[in-house]
């Protein structure tokens, strides 16, 4: 009887969440309020169907900017504690004092800016006693010292993968709450994961018995598995947009499939290029995993594409001369590698933007992390000088700054960036 009741409640919860209109304002993870009053205040969606199961169940679904009254206290997210600003290594280099010398003079001239506006993990001030996940002033201690990577923000926390770092130990995937608790969805092969465009579902590769795997989707709110399609342990989730979940089904990452949960996956020809899809746009990125380099440069090209009729990809813009590239979250700006330069382009016209910097400062890569459609982050290590740094660049104006810069360390000094 209890199991039947739970199933009916779960179905009612999913049905109620599905009634949110397309025009609803998505949740603000960090609303602009004084620290003492900061709350996440979801709108309560109460489905009529739920009354047949349980009386007066309220579900946090979405935040409304036009709310007339605060929700009951039970629906509010845990109050994050007040925290002090973390200290970042910010070292000024002066020419010959820098072991890398003039080779990185462009980097040395960048001013220092504000902390990253994405979730990141780091240790506070020196040796690792405890690490933290921090996001726009909200800090969650990770006392078990497990490695956490943010996949994206959700109500009252973040979808993360969590691992111990032990050999052969597959990570768990789930929701880390602002109160530090972790709600697991199960094990993952760690071969990519993506939130749906509306943030309500998550796609990832789950290991199955007998050395098999499946690409699965789950409800972020309940953890319930919604759909699955067979895959291998080397399959990688390459993103999720309005067309569905995109995944790379073989170890070489050449065979690309589009999957609308509930239907069979469809193979899409990418010309042996790597495809990356994004929740915020139907424009996708094709990069070259195996470029050929000559004295004149590279024959590789980076393309921004859309899905056309008969499941054929159509090129919106193409830039050649380098294998790497990254696309802004709204699909408006491409940053592509051209030799040793990272150049910005407006996707709509192909025109260059003000970004034209050394690829040391911005590393164009399909997995690059963006704060917003205008700012891309880059973290790198200069092995020759044992130096690590994190930069932020405005891809339209070309203005860049350092967030952190200092000597390499064996501990998680940070910031170790995650996705917003």
Q: What are phi and psi of 81, to 5 degrees?
A: -70, 155
Q: How many domains does the chain have?
A: 1
The whole-angstrom separation of Cα 396 and Cα 398 is 6
Give residue 293's pLDDT: 58
- Any domain includes 6: yes
- Residue 386 and residue 117: Cα distance in Å, rounded? 26
Q: Comparing 80 with 396, which gets the higher pLDDT?
A: 396
- 27 located within any domain: yes
Task: Give 155's pLDDT tier (boundaries 50, 70, 90).
Answer: very high
Q: How far is CA 76 from CA 18, 158, 211, 281, in A?
A: 21, 16, 41, 31
Q: Is residue 327 part of a domain?
A: no
- What is d(CA 381, CA 208) in angstroms, rounded to the nearest whole number? 36
> 51 or 109: which carries more pLDDT confidence?
109
Q: Rounded CA gap, 93 and 70, in Å?
A: 51
Is 32 among the domain residues? yes
- pLDDT at position 69: 40
**Residue 414: CB partners within 8 Å, gap ≥ 6?**
86, 88, 120, 121, 122, 123, 404
Query: Which structural domain, as residue segments, surrounds residue 44?
Result: 2-75
Confidence of residue 14 (pLDDT cuts 50, 70, 90): low
Going through 178-300 in order, the beta strands assigned E by DSSP cover 182-187, 193-195, 201-208, 212-219, 225-231, 236-241, 244-248, 256-259, 266-268, 274-278, 281-287, 293-294, 297-298
Give domain status of residue 319, yes or no.
no
Domain-embedded: residue 49: yes
- The H or E element that residue 393 is part of is strand 387-394
> Higher confidence at residue 219 or residue 105?
219
The reported pTM is 0.79
Alpha helices in 65-160 (DSSP H): 105-108
- 261 or 13, higher pLDDT: 261
């Amino acid at each position: 009887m209890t199991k039947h009741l739970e199933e009916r409640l779960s179905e009612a919860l999913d049905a109620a969440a599905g009634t949110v209109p397309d025009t609803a304002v998505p949740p603000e993870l960090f609303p602009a309020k004084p620290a003492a009053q900061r709350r996440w205040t979801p709108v309560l969606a109460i489905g009529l169907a739920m009354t047949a199961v349980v009386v007066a169940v309220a579900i946090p679904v979405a935040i409304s900017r036009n709310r007339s009254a605060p929700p009951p206290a039970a629906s509010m997210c845990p109050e994050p504690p007040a925290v002090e600003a973390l200290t970042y290594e910010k070292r000024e280099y002066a020419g010959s004092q820098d072991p890398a010398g003039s080779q990185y003079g462009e980097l040395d001239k960048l001013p220092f800016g504000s902390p990253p506006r994405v979730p990141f993990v780091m240790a506070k001030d020196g040796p690792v006693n405890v690490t933290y996940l921090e996001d726009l002033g909200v800090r969650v201690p990770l006392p078990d010292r497990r490695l956490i990577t943010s996949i994206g923000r959700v109500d009252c926390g973040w979808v993360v993968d969590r691992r111990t770092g032990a050999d052969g130990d597959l990570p768990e995937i789930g929701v880390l709450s602002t109160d530090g608790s972790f709600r697991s969805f199960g094990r993952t092969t760690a071969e990519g994961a993506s939130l749906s465009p509306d943030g309500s579902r998550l796609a990832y590769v789950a290991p199955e018995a007998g050395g098999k795997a499946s690409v699965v989707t789950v409800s972020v709110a309940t953890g319930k598995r919604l759909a699955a399609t067979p895959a291998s342990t080397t399959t990688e989730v390459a993103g999720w947009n309005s067309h569905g979940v995109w995944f790379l089904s073989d170890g070489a990452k050449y065979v690309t499939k589009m999957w609308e949960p509930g239907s069979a996956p469809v193979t899409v020809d990418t010309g042996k290029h790597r495809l990356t899809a994004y929740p915020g746009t139907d424009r996708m990125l094709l990069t070259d995993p195996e470029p050929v380099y000559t004295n004149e440069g590279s024959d590789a090209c980076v393309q921004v594409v859309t899905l056309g009729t008969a499941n054929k990809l159509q090129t919106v813009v193409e830039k050649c001369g380098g294998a790497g590239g990254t696309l802004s979250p709204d699909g408006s700006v491409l940053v592509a590698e051209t030799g040793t330069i990272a150049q910005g382009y407006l996707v709509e016209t192909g025109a260059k933007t003000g970004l034209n910097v050394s690829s040391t400062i911005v590393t164009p890569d399909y997995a690059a992390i963006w704060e917003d459609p205008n700012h891309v982050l880059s973290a790198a290590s200069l092995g020759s000088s044992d130096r690590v740094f994190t930069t932020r660049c405005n891809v339209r104006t070309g203005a860049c700054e350092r967030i952190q810069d200092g000597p390499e360390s064996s501990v998680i000094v940070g910031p170790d960036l995650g996705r917003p």
